A and B are shown apart, each in its own frame.
Chain A
């Protein structure tokens, strides 16, 4: 195990250094300030941005930390509400096969719609771009959790429900002690897909609404032709995506069970 791991780390480092090398080599001929910036220039810009991530010099000049916090705040609200709705609805559908079959066609139609397609309707109806972005997050993180929860509940072994019936558990206790824990692995798998698609959607939504957020930051820096900032923001988006997924990965290991 130890040797295997060491080998994997070595491969990773070699690939990383190689990619950086290719990047650096491909931009080496550019005159200073022209063409794509290389890794050294991005690293320099990153150092500057990370030295003071939370400064606020008005609407068009905020630190990258503030922008990321704005995005994460929207994500938290939209994702939390979507997850609650999706799990509740998923349990109801999972427990009622007839309702599940009746509702499923609508879910199938709604699921493939890009959450951004809803944006004009949200802007028109609620007339607040910040909340419209939150609703886009809501739409993007609803379907995977809903589908997985319903699937998980449908497939709960009858034996567990028999035990719950014999013990005459109240509906609340049956939900909390039997149904949710039994379906938890499937539900968390859905939550994990949802947070990924929500994080993908927030960048695009913020490019559209402007104001704050990492998506707006990327677009604003592009308008300033500050490509070093754009590239650094891309890397930051990726790293935060990894952290979000790792958090849910940890939750999934805690709730996992085997027969």
Chain B
């Protein structure tokens, strides 16, 4: 079941390793989230899967074919939305639909776009430009644009990080609803633990960068459909949440980092042989 295979991928920037030897697979229709501290390279890995960046070593294989560049089979939902500000809501989505279906008639494209506008609850806002929308509404356009092309893989790059906390839950629910209907394969990066547990089938944990590594992948055994209200009291949720939070705190204080801190506080360098 190796649908999307991350095959021992490493990435260096200017000779410094961001992460190395990251290897895991995602099954078709699976929702996998990667959590890690800032600088562990999780967004870089997402960009490599998107084909926007090249790995320094290793490669990514999607349904048997190696990824060499961007393609319509993988759509990205960006943290900063990345909508074209000179286009209306409708035109932003239409740009993607026309790219996915160059042979469709204008009318068919327009109907398809409208379907996704309605799906994300933006009916009536079609003619607005992104500048006139709140962050939450903008990311709805981002989701509609990505889902409307029916990609094999959805790549979500901290999609809710720039949305206010109250709206975030609503948009997460929209994502769950759309994903339940479409069942795309999803790879998401985030540093929101609750978000990861609510949405994911499995969660990949990265150690702190530079030279970050994949520490473990944990399955989320909370049955779907999940709601935020039920999740709060679910013992499995609490266990997972604690586990991940402990991991993140310990990763931040891993031996190397701690030594440097001790050295800084005592004014003595750590000895070479430790």
Contact = CB atoms under 8 A, between A and B. Distances in A.
Interface of A: 159-160, 162-163, 165-169, 173, 177-178, 181-182, 184, 255, 257-259
25 contacts: A159-B82, A162-B52, A162-B70, A162-B76, A162-B78, A163-B82, A165-B51, A165-B69, A165-B70, A166-B50, A166-B70, A167-B72, A167-B100, A168-B71, A168-B72, A169-B95, A177-B87, A181-B84, A181-B87, A182-B84, A184-B86, A257-B86, A257-B131, A258-B85, A258-B131
Nearest to B102: A170
B85 A257 contact: yes
A163 B87 CA distance: 13
A159 B78 contact: yes
Nearest to A257: B86
Interface of B: 50-52, 69-72, 74-76, 78, 80, 82, 84-87, 95-96, 99-100, 129-131, 149
B72 to A, nearest CB: 6
B76 A181 contact: no
Given A159-B78, A259-B130, A259-B131, A166 B84 contact: no
Contacts of A162: 52, 70, 76, 78, 82
B84 A167 contact: no
A165 B99 CA distance: 11
A162 B78 CA distance: 10
Contacts of B82: 159-160, 162-163
A178 B95 CA distance: 10
Contacts of B130: 259
Contacts of A255: 86
Given A162-B76, A257-B129, A259-B131, A168 B70 contact: yes
A211 B79 CA distance: 63
A181 to B, nearest CB: 4
B85 A163 contact: no
A184 B99 CA distance: 23
A184 B87 CA distance: 13
Given A166-B74, A259-B131, 4 more contacts: A160-B82, A166-B52, A167-B149, A257-B129
Most chain A beta-carbon neighbours within 10 Å: one of B70, B75, B82, B86? B86
Contact of A167 (B87, B95, B129): B95
A185 to B, nearest CB: 9
A259 B129 CA distance: 9
A184 B130 CA distance: 17
Contacts of B51: 165-166
Contacts of A177: 84, 87, 95
Contacts of B71: 166, 168
B133 to A, nearest CB: 11
- A-B pairs, 8 with minimum CB distance: A167-B99, A159-B82, A257-B86, A181-B86, A165-B70, A166-B70, A257-B85, A258-B131
Nearest to A255: B86
A169 B84 contact: no
A168 B131 contact: no
A158 to B, nearest CB: 9
Nearest to A167: B99
Nearest to A159: B82
A173 B100 CA distance: 13
B86 A168 contact: no
Contacts of A167: 72, 95-96, 99-100, 149
B78 A168 contact: no
A178 B84 contact: yes
A168 B52 CA distance: 12
A168 B85 contact: no
B170 to A, nearest CB: 23
A255 B50 CA distance: 31
Nearest to A162: B52
A165 B69 CA distance: 9
B86 A182 contact: yes
A184 B86 CA distance: 10
Contacts of B80: 159
A169 B102 CA distance: 10
A21 B38 CA distance: 70
Given A168-B72, A257-B131, A258-B131, A163 B52 contact: no
